Amino acid sequence: MKIKKMTDVNLSEKKVLIRTDLNVPIKNGKIMSDARILAALPTIQIAIKNNAKVMIMSHLGRPEEGIYTKKYSLLPIFNYLKKIFINTNIFFSNNYLNGVDIKAGEVFLLENVRFNKGELNNDYELSKKYSNLCDIFVMDAFGSAHRMQASTYGVGKLSKISCAGPLLISEITYLKQAIKNPQRPMVTVIGGSKVSTKFNVLNKLSKISDTVIVGGGIANTFLAINNKIGKSLHEKKFILAAKKIYEKYNIVLPIDSRVGKNFCNTETAVVKLISCIKEDDEIMDFGDKTIKNSINILRKAKTILWNGPVGVFEFKNFSIGTEMIAKTIASSNAFSIAGGGDTLSVIDMFHIKKNISYISTGGGAFLEFIEGKKLPAIQMLEDHFENTL
């Protein structure tokens, strides 16, 4: 894979448009997790240090395209960035498509790209307006690299110089290392609600991992092969497909679970063996024996790839499984890679960021890259590199 790197380009006095991933959770105007912002900062700082005219663009949430919605505004992120870049002139612009009056060393945060009509379908005219803003386009949003949209793909195709930012480069490097040449044993922990959204990546990871620990609704679908699981979340249509994976690879299923009668934060957790689950029980977390078994497997690992919680970690009584798995991964001597939106929330909740070897900012992109798909934004950068030779 050959792509131009931002660090190899002269940025001085140039208009540099950086597509970052600032899609962070915001509640009542307050940023709930700044993980993605912190990951984006080094790239922005490089551009400032090199005396560039810096413009930052990102999406936030899923507003109705073409319509301004206050809850999806990047203004809270702008207020956050002002506190970081106290010695830099930083501005916020919600009217930028016809150009921005910017000087070297200044920073403009551009309003949510999804407020622009044509963003999602990679509209040519919008892509052209984006490319006209800059001399250099920097794609640094790995979390959006799987989307062929105007701000991630179209702008790069039409810009004079398109290159990859340091964050995108590091994401590709570390994920390739985990997939192609992992230290063994390699253990994968994969959770979440649906097998259907992760089936292909689960299949791929099962092939390259020595052991796969499954949790959440994904585990329930596997458990339903041979067990009664009450009213637990699972996907009936995928039971047969799960059975084929289970028979072929080393998939570790829960021995016991924390169950409740009602899906709510105040529900009491009861630990039951899988064979003892009743019709009105709902599996919402690992049981103690499953936690102990998972910890023993993880402690022997040399490489750990982690995507998704193993239970309803948002509910205090059903968070212990996810907490113990997370803290075991963090305390492990293994090379650990964690990725996915919910995984980032877990890392923040249990304050283990410093102890994970590499944290990917991608959700869908993380899964598609592992699955082996060519991400459109990366393909665009490769094509651009070939065309400029």
Q: pLDDT, tens digit, for every residue of 100-121?
A: 999 999 999 999 999 999 999 9
Name the catalytic one among 36, 114, 147, 198.
36
How would you classify the pairing of strands 282-286 and 270-273? unpaired
Beta bridge partners, 161, equal: 136
Per the annotation, the verdict on 30 as an active-site residue is no
* Structure token pair of residue 40: 């984006």
Statement: residue 86 has pLDDT above 80? yes
Bond before 63 cis per omega within 30 degrees: no
In terms of Cα–Cα distance, which of 294, 266, 281 is closest to 233?
Answer: 281
Q: What whole-number percentage of the chain has pLDDT above 70? A: 98
What pLDDT is recorded for position 28? 87
Query: CA–CA separation, 257 vs 273, rounded Å?
Result: 6
Tell me: the pLDDT tens digits for 289-346? 999 999 999 999 999 999 999 999 999 999 999 999 999 999 999 999 998 768 888 9
pLDDT at 388 over 80: no
Annotated active-site residue in 117, 128, 194, 289: 194
Q: Which one is catalytic: 143, 341, 362, 363?
A: 341
- The sign of the torsion formed by the CA atoms of 323, 324, 327, 329 equals negative
Say if residue 37's pLDDT is above 70. Answer: yes
**Catalytic residue check, 341:** yes
231, 289, 364, 373: which is the annotated catalytic residue?
Answer: 364
Global confidence as pTM: 0.83
212 - beta bridge partners?
A: 188, 251
36 in catalytic set: yes
Alpha carbons 168 and 270: distance in angstroms, whole number: 43
